[in-house]
Amino acid sequence: MPTEVTIHFLEMARGDFCPAPPPDAASLEELGPDALALRQVEIPLPELNRFFYTEVGRDWQWTDRLGWTLDAWRDYAERPGLETWVGYLRGTPYGYFELDVANPRDVQLAYFGLLPEFVGRGLGGYLLSESIRLAFERGAERYWVHTCTLDHPAALANYLKRGFREFKQETEWK
């Protein structure tokens, strides 16, 4: 049965950024000084992008790419201008984001999310803030993303809290 989906197109300029505080130890059990790390995937690995897309999107109806072949994932992961970043908690991957930096002044947050085991621990706002900080530190003038009503129910609120503003909205049936 078709579902009505609202897509929110959001953007921010450098001065609009409202970073989230780092998660506290109480929410993450013994958070030490080196417990949180963010690393860029420097060697494109299509299986990794596929893993995060599948696992992060499992509960949110991310289905557009589920039928992709490994070659399609390879073409995507290796394309110039795509950066994959992984957030780690005590050495364990907890989430990821993909930046489309083909135009370094106008950066798109292509995909973003947490693995299900880490949702609700204060990591989403923190990881999103790190993606924003990274984009602007590298010279972006505009950072944009689209989210929809099929994403995590807190996704839109998280983006708005960080300083994104809606510039367009569309509705479609999936």
pTM: 0.92
User: Could you tell me the end-to-end alpha-carbon distance of the chain, in angstroms, rounded to an integer?
Assistant: 8
**CB proximity list for 42: less than 8 A, separation 6 or greater:** none
- Residue 63, pLDDT > 60, answer yes
| pLDDT, tens only, 106-150 | 999 999 999 999 998 889 999 999 999 999 998 999 999 999 998
79 — phi, psi (to 5°)?
-70, 145
Q: What is the structure's pLDDT at 31?
A: 64
User: Using 50, 70 and 90 to split pLDDT, how confident is the model at 55?
Assistant: very high
Buried b (16+ CB within 10 A) or exposed e, 120-154: ebbbbbbbbbbbbebbbeeebeebbbbbbbbbbee
Mean pLDDT for the stretch of residues 95-116: 96
Q: What is the structure's pLDDT at 25?
A: 58
Query: Is pLDDT larger for residue 12 or for residue 1?
Result: 12
Number of domains the chain contains: 1
User: Using 50, 70 and 90 to split pLDDT, how confident is the model at 44?
Assistant: very high
Which CATH number goes with the domain that contains 45?
A: 3.40.630.30
- Residue 69, pLDDT > 80, answer yes
Question: Domain range holding 43?
Answer: 4-173
Taking the C-alpha atoms of residue 74 and residue 107, their distance in angstroms, rounded to an integer, is 21
| Vertex 17 angle, CA 11 and 9, to 5° | 15
Q: What is the structure's pLDDT at 144?
A: 98
127 — phi, psi (to 5°)?
-65, -40
Q: Is 105 exposed, middle or buried (0-12, 13-18, 19+ CB in 10 A)?
A: exposed
Q: What is the mean pLDDT of the chain?
A: 92
Neighbours of 34 (CB within 10 A): 9
Q: What residue type is 79 in one-letter code? A: R
Q: What residue type is 115 in one-letter code? A: L
**CB proximity list for 43: less than 8 A, separation 6 or greater:** none
- The continuous run of DSSP H or E covering 162 comes out as helix 155-162
